[in-house]
Amino acid sequence: MHRLCALLEDASAGVRVAVVRALEAARGPERDAAIGRAFEDSSAEVAGAAIGVARRTESIALVPALTRFLASKHAAEPRAEAARALAQLAGPESLRALCAQLTDGEYEVRLAIADALGIAGDASALEPLRSALDHEPDADLQAAYREALAQISERIGR
């Protein structure tokens, strides 16, 4: 495992992507730490591979790395994927991370967060969604926030 993880420092993004994908078959904290480091890679391909592995493995240990990635300055599409991955790992920390980014500057990220909260949100997401709705100028995002609020309310019986 150590030799494989060392290849995350390889100059080739293709090699680093292959390493991240190979790590999916591994188990344990060393694997999760290595995948977590891949989120910080300068290559969008490597970070995207790490998000894919996080979604497929559903390792709760990757929530902090996903949270940092979601709040980063990376491109909108991979950050939107990080929001979807956090929804799969639904838990208090994931939901806090999603709610904290409802004011993200990127439309695509806010839309993915609304969808994610609609799928995985609980009562703790209601107030942040209402606040985001009150401050959102875009009609499509307003509709997405309303839909998320309705899905959560139905799920929790309100």
Question: Residue 81 is part of a domain; what is its CATH number?
Answer: 1.25.10.10
Q: State the SS3 of the chain.
A: CHHHHHHHHCCCHHHHHHHHHHHCCCCCHHHHHHHHHHCCCCCHHHHHHHHHHHHHHCCHHHHHHHHHHHCCCCCHHHHHHHHHHHHHCCCHHHHHHHHHCCCCCCHHHHHHHHHHHHHHCCHHHHHHHHHHHHHCCCHHHHHHHHHHHHHHHHHHCC
Q: Residues 51, 70: one domain?
A: no
pLDDT tens digit sequence for 15-56 = 999 999 999 999 999 999 999 999 999 999 999 999 999 999
Q: Residues 148, 79: one domain?
A: yes
What would the two tokens of residue 86 be? Answer: 């956090």
> pTM to 2 decimals?
0.90
Q: Residues 93, 128: one domain?
A: yes
17, 22, 27, 32: CA torsion to nearest 10: -10
Q: Residues 81, 18: one domain?
A: no
Task: Give residue 114's pLDDT.
Answer: 98
Structurally, how many domains does the chain consist of? 2
Task: Give residue 33's pLDDT.
Answer: 94
84, 19, 36, 45: CA torsion to nearest 10: -50
Domain with 20, as residue range(s), is 1-57
The mean pLDDT of the chain is 95
Of the residues 37, 57, 77, the one at which a domain ends: 57
Q: Residues 83, 18: one domain?
A: no
Of the residues 14, 30, 57, the one at which a domain ends: 57
Q: Residues 157, 85: one domain?
A: yes
